[in-house]
Chains A and B, each alone.
Chain A
């Protein structure tokens, strides 16, 4: 959808949020 809208640099995060958290990187808590 984004690419159709003209966005050229769209990339999914490998592993999603779980991958980010598993790597030990910081995260915000959603209110």
Chain B
């Protein structure tokens, strides 16, 4: 049949279908009227509904249509309490049908297994319960792979379908629902100095944005805003307390070696431009903002460079997530297959990472503590007439900020310290100091 010839038939079927829906309303109404003794008010309400239905339907249905609608299942009229509930349910169904079929904004579960509850219809205390339920066993029989796969989280045409059967799914669910807020908090904590890596979350969010489940723009805006807030706080502290704030930072940092080794020199060398790549260098991202404040850089320039740096950093992570979203899907699927153990594995990996960093820190500080000389010991050496070689390895900026030095100290750059001491005998006592 040609396409043009088929159109009238399709239109006729559509009209016929609408008539069936209205007939169903009429059938329910008639059944209710037969089974209860409606009050005047209820009778009026039902009457209005009938008038509206008649206006839409047009002529009354034929006996054949009614037979098709009731499907040969004649009802026995009798008074029932349940009929009152049916009357209320009828109105609810009409509303649901309007939202579902006409407006298209409400998802109606039609399959107890395949379709989950509407997430916004669940109370907050019900959401965590799903973790326990999901973790209690695999999904339905042989359907594990299909049900556990993250693809099941893909939104449908109405944008509201979701299925969760494992803790990781629940985590992804939380990322979907509270994603932007979680990204904001994660980045804020990391930039404030907490050992909470934000890049993995940004990569996963990027992968989710690739599938249209999150907005890349919102992710980037949240990351930039959180980053700017934390960095500006460190900037102000640096401006207020100067280089002393670095000591506090290095004390809480898990990478004190990289913190004290050359971050200051790097900032001196590159200036505010270093903020563009600061977040890619471990230890430097937290130290650079207070350094900018301590060295008296302008607030506007700091915000501009730091904002662009945050955009580059978060953008790179989100872009990586988008580029490798299939691989991330597979990793998430593998974690989902682990069920409740996935959280244990993730937690253990994070704990091991922090433990290794902490052990390195303790080892480094122990070495430093064993090797360092206290100010009173150095003073005593001076008083005894001993002449140690005292080397000031501060950056030019730090010296400008505090233009004082220990008597007879040699001012050298850290990179040149070995060549500058070329004439000093190897067995000589050398004391280095910075800020």
Which of A1, A7, A10, A23 makes the CB contact (< 8 A) with B376? A23
Which of B399, B417, B435 makes the CB contact (< 8 A) with A16? B435
List CB contacts (< 8 Å) of A1-31 with chain B. 1-2, 4-23, 25-30
Q: Quick check: is B434 within 8 A (CB to CB) of the other chain?
A: yes
Q: Smallest CB–CB gap between A9 and chain B, Å?
A: 5
- Nearest B-chain residue to A27, judged by Cβ: B404
- Nearest B-chain residue to A22, judged by Cβ: B375
CA–CA, A29 to B406, complex, Å? 9
Mask, B403-435, CB within 8 Å of A = 1, is 111111101000001100100101111111111
Which of A8, A9, A15, A29 makes the CB contact (< 8 A) with B375? A15
CA–CA, A31 to B426, complex, Å? 30
Contact A11 B430 (CB under 8 A): yes
Contact A11 B402 (CB under 8 A): no
Interface size classification for chain B: 35 or more
Residues on the B chain within 8 Å of A16, using CB? 247, 433-435
Known: A28-B404, A30-B405. A17 touches B376 (CB 8 A): no
CA–CA, A10 to B389, complex, Å? 10
Residues on the B chain within 8 Å of A6, using CB? 426
Mask, B360-403, CB within 8 Å of A = 1, is 00000000100111111011000000000010101000010011
Known: A7-B426, A18-B244, A30-B404. A12 touches B394 (CB 8 A): no
Which of B376, B392, B429, B433 makes the CB contact (< 8 A) with A12? B433
Contact B426 A30 (CB under 8 A): no
Residues on the A chain within 8 Å of B244, using CB? 18
CA–CA, A29 to B402, complex, Å? 9
Contact A29 B403 (CB under 8 A): yes
Residues on the A chain within 8 Å of B371, using CB? 10-12
CA–CA, A13 to B378, complex, Å? 8
Which of A2, A20, A23, A26 makes the CB contact (< 8 A) with B417? A2
Which of B372, B399, B404 makes the CB contact (< 8 A) with A11? B372
Known: A12-B372, A26-B407, A27-B406. A2 touches B427 (CB 8 A): no
Question: 28 A-B pairs, CB-CB below 8 angstroms?
Answer: A2-B418, A4-B418, A5-B418, A6-B426, A7-B424, A9-B427, A10-B430, A11-B371, A11-B430, A12-B373, A12-B433, A13-B373, A13-B390, A13-B406, A13-B432, A15-B374, A16-B433, A17-B434, A18-B244, A18-B247, A18-B435, A22-B375, A25-B375, A25-B379, A27-B407, A28-B404, A30-B399, A30-B404
Chain A residues packing against B (C-beta within 8 Å)? 1-2, 4-23, 25-30
